[in-house]
Amino acid sequence: MGDLLTDLHPRVVRYCRARLGRIGGAYTTADDVAQEVCLAVLRALPRYKEQGKPFSAFVFAIAANKVVDAQRVAVRATAVTVTDTMPERPDTTPGPEQQAIAVDLARQISVLLDRLPDVQREIVTLRVAVGLTAEEVGTILGMSAAAVRVAQSRALARLRTLAGGQFNEVAA
């Protein structure tokens, strides 16, 4: 179990961070969701049956469901909390301007990703954010590694076209 979690946890964290981004300037929600995913995987292990798909497909299906649940909760929990006590130490979290910039950038990227077909969006997330190989993504999505690479290339080209000069980057 320890080896399994040691292997899965970093990839699940990257996936959750890529899908959820920073909420309130920090990744705490994404990290919490990743922890919930790991717990859900451990709870589901007794019911897991080999069905010709890799174990990672099972894990990322659970992760996708947990991310959707967290997005629903985040939409509902947008209330501001007022406190009467002063903190003992200065706040080292990003200030309002940095938070606004990060949130806006995440929103822009999310809007661009939402314009991709579901499969391409999932490929970009799993390959770029999570760092899975084309073979791993292919087995998760039921595609060949070559088809994953082609779809990723097309997705990235589409993102470059959609973004235009939006991010002020020099094309490679």
CATH number of 2-79+92-163: 1.10.10.10
Under a CB-based contact definition with an 8 Å cutoff, are residues 69 and 40 in contact?
A: no
Provide the pLDDT for residue 172: 46
Provide the pLDDT for residue 79: 54
Provide the pLDDT for residue 17: 85
Q: At what angle do helices 2-20 and 55-76 cross, to 10 degrees?
A: 40
Q: Is the pLDDT of residue 7 over 70?
A: yes
Residue 31 — pLDDT band, cuts 50, 70, 90? confident
Under a CB-based contact definition with an 8 Å cutoff, are residues 67 and 61 in contact?
A: no
Provide the pLDDT for residue 76: 65
Residue spans per domain, the chain = 2-79+92-163
Provide the pLDDT for residue 120: 94
The per-residue pLDDT for range 48-91, each reduced to its tens digit, is: 888 888 888 889 889 988 988 887 777 666 555 666 777 778 77
The pTM of the whole model exceeds 0.75: no
Residue 49, token pair as written in the block: 């049956």
User: What average pLDDT does range 8-24 have in this prediction?
Assistant: 83
* CA-based nearest residue to 60, from 2, 113, 138, 3: 138
| Residue bearing tokens 């073979």 | 135
